[in-house]
Amino acid sequence: MAQSPDPIGDTAPPSRLERRLGLLDAVVIGLGAMIGAGVFAAIGPAARAAGTGLLVGLGIAAVVAYCNATSSAQLAAIYPQSGGTYVYGRERLGPFWGYLAGWGFVVGKTASCAAMALTVGAYAWPDWQRPIAVGVVVALTAVNYQGVQKTAWLTRVIVVIVLAALAAVVVAALGGGTAGVGNLDSVTEAGGWTGILQSAGLLFFAFAGYARLATLGEEVVDPQRTIPRAIPLALGITLVVYTLVAVSALLAAGPDALAASNAPLDTAVRAGDLEALSPVVRVGGTIAALGVLLSLIVGVSRTTFAMAANGEMPRWLDAVHPRHRVPHRAEITVGAIVAAVVLVADLRDAIGFSSFAVLTYYAVANASAYTLPPHQRRWPRGLAVLGIIGCVGLAVTLPSASVIGGLIVLALGVLVWIARHRLRSN
């Protein structure tokens, strides 16, 4: 959609961090946060929920993600600060809603980090899944500690490798001799509209990376223009890639085989005569998960940094490294927590729990965008309404364990908020 002229001028507000990321870097970080996550980690559970109906679920997830992206983009242009919806909720709805969004983001994305680390282990060396997962968390935390420019450079390399690997998957799946429209004829027994909506909620996990750009608001050059352009562009590229890969995998192997596999794209390739490309798939899955994990750690640490600055996380985390200009204490703390979660988490449960918490986060983002006056609005207000409805609808259709676990964690966050404010009052 066409965007209105920038309502707040060309000058970005002062930043405690260094603005180094241009449009290309921003788009690449967004792609690194999304490309591969759904295809390599979420397509199996989505196929189990909806069978071939996961293609409809993919479309629904994309629509909700687009609504969330437009809300995040116009809010990020007005409030280009680290923290994303945590900041937007505080500014537009009040401190409690900002806190709830920040809590949901940090908890949900910590689960996402664990899921991606476990995916790295599953594709790289299944027998050593957890030790490898812990090792990559430590290594990528060290990379992020060195500064955001190194993060953007490494992400660019990862995106190129993953796109090449996914292209090989499409070629192998469609050219292996087993691809047929017959595999798309019907939805499996687990399907129906309930299953389709559940698959959309699970696949939303794959699109949620676009907001990583909003959390980097203090490190983007000319954020008022760069962020609103980068978010929809990264989302559109990701949707095209996901659709091509999902259709190819379903045509080659069918939904039942994908649902039963821990490495569904590898299963799709092995179904045909080009199974010699299987190592390419495993390398692609490993690199894709590495890229997502790299950007996830960045996003969680920046939100933690922003909440600490307002006293809603320990003040010790509100520190910027004097040379690298990154929130180094938040980086180290997030890395340590993710490494601990990896030792006990289950991959599929982590995806569902993360989706619930992050859908809550985006519901607050859409509500915040709804309050914007016309002169600050870049997209129609109706998209924010549709985003709220979509987030709530997808959240409640997730597996019951994910919904219950998510509600408990959100309730715990609310109790922490109440206790902290009572202490301040006393």
- Measured in whole angstroms, the distance separating CA 249 from the mean position of its chain's CA atoms is 22
pLDDT at residue number 210:
67
- DSSP at 81: S
Of 243, 267, 240, 254, the closest CA to residue 180 belongs to: 254
DSSP class of residue 12 equals: P
* Nearest Cα to Cα of residue 226 among 379, 373, 29, 33: 29
**Fold that domain 23-421 belongs to in CATH:** Amino acid/polyamine transporter I (1.20.1740)
Which whole-number Å values give the CA distances from 288 to 36, 156, 163, 181, 285, in the listed order?
5, 12, 9, 28, 5
Contact 117, 338 (CB under 8 A): yes
Burial of 393 (0-12, 13-18, 19+ CB in 10 A): middle
What is the per-residue pLDDT for 9? 43
Residue 363 CB partners (closer than 8 Å, separation 6+): 387, 388, 391, 392, 395
Closest CA relative to residue 49, chosen from 359, 352, 406: 352
Print pLDDT tens along the chain (426 aa).
Answer: 434 444 444 444 555 566 777 888 888 887 877 786 667 878 888 998 998 899 999 999 999 998 998 898 889 878 877 678 898 999 999 999 999 999 998 999 899 899 889 888 877 888 888 999 999 999 999 988 877 555 667 777 888 888 888 998 999 999 988 888 877 764 544 568 889 999 999 999 888 766 666 666 667 788 777 877 887 888 888 889 999 999 999 999 989 888 888 778 888 998 889 988 989 888 888 888 887 788 788 888 888 998 888 888 888 999 988 887 889 999 999 999 999 999 988 877 888 899 999 999 999 999 999 999 999 988 899 999 999 999 999 999 998 999 999 999 999 999 999 998 888 777
Question: What is the dihedral sign for C-alpha 282, 36, 189, 269?
Answer: negative
Say what the alpha-carbon torsion angle 264, 337, 26, 64 is, to the nearest 10 degrees: 60
Break the chain into its structural domains and give their ranges. Answer: 23-421
φ, ψ at 57 (rounded to 5°): -60, -35
Q: Is the pTM of this model over 0.85?
A: no
Tokens in use for 176? 């292996």
168-180 core/surface letters (b: 16 or more CB in 10 A; e: else)? bbbebbbebebbe
- pLDDT value for 15: 57
Q: Is the dihedral of CA 417, 418, 420, 425 positive or negative?
A: positive
